[in-house]
Chains A and B, each alone.
Chain A
Amino acid sequence: MSETIKNFLYLNRRAPYGTIYAWESLEVVLIGAAFDQDVSLAFVDDGVFQLTKGQDTAGVGMKNFSPTYAALGDYEVKKIYIEKESLEERGLSLDDLQHLTWEDEDDDYAEKDSIHLVTRAEMAAIMDGADVVFSF
């Protein structure tokens, strides 16, 4: 295991189901969570569609992996950044997305919000501050 904690940013820019990128990213995040690193997720462009509520894939014969995002808190992924402009360009608001939380063990398992709405300029700074960016 690495001595230095690095700040990893997973950059998600693709819609779910049309391509395999969204699911691949989620799997890599879950696998990577086994290593003690500082992990953040960014949802930009069509990536914001990954988190819409009420996904039901029964009609298209694909696995619905949207419930898996709610497990991210268990995997110590507590920082999820959503780009405001990307939502607006797609006619969406935070209310259209899942409400993701993590449990703070040091605060009597209090549920805390994982999702942070940020502007494009703020997202640029988050990207700039990451040691490693994984693009999907």
Chain B
Amino acid sequence: MSTLHTVNKSPFEKTSLAACLDHLSAGAAVLLLEDGVYAALTQTSAEGQVKAALDSVKVYALGPDLQARGLSEERVIPGISVVDYAGFVDLAAEHDKVQAWL
């Protein structure tokens, strides 16, 4: 069973990301969207936990949400793939289910 986990809350405000990363199984992927994209930035206090997760799972960030917030792709942690809405749909289709961390 492969699951796409989505996180739409800022890692600096809510524990949604930390909770998500603590509950990943093999084959899981994480998509950061809305305020969740702040977790994709380098040199933040949340960078360590995201980098650690990249060792075992794929992590994605939604491009339009990065752009809306004035965050360029150069600021995104290497290893995180930036996807558009079509990529989001593909990810949802590739996995058996989608689990949202609100």
Contacts and interface: CB of A to CB of B under 8 A. Distances in A.
Contact between chain A and chain B defined by CB under 8 Å? yes
Interface in A7-43: 14-19
Interface residues of A, number: 25
A90 B34 CA distance: 16
A131 interface: no
A30 B53 CA distance: 43
Interface stretch (A52-60, A71-79, A102-110, A112-120): A52-60
B13 A46 contact: yes
Contacts of A59: 63-65, 67-68, 84
Contacts, number: 72
A45 B41 CA distance: 15
A90 B42 CA distance: 8
Q: Which of A18, A54, A96 has the most CB of B within 10 A?
A: A18
Task: Describe A's contact surface by its main secondary structure.
Answer: loop
A90 B95 CA distance: 31
B96 to A, nearest CB: 27
B10 A15 contact: yes
A55 B68 CA distance: 5
A89 interface: yes
A14 B13 CA distance: 8
A15 B75 CA distance: 17
B45 A89 contact: yes
Nearest to A93: B43
Contact of A91 (B9, B13, B75): B75
A52 B42 CA distance: 15
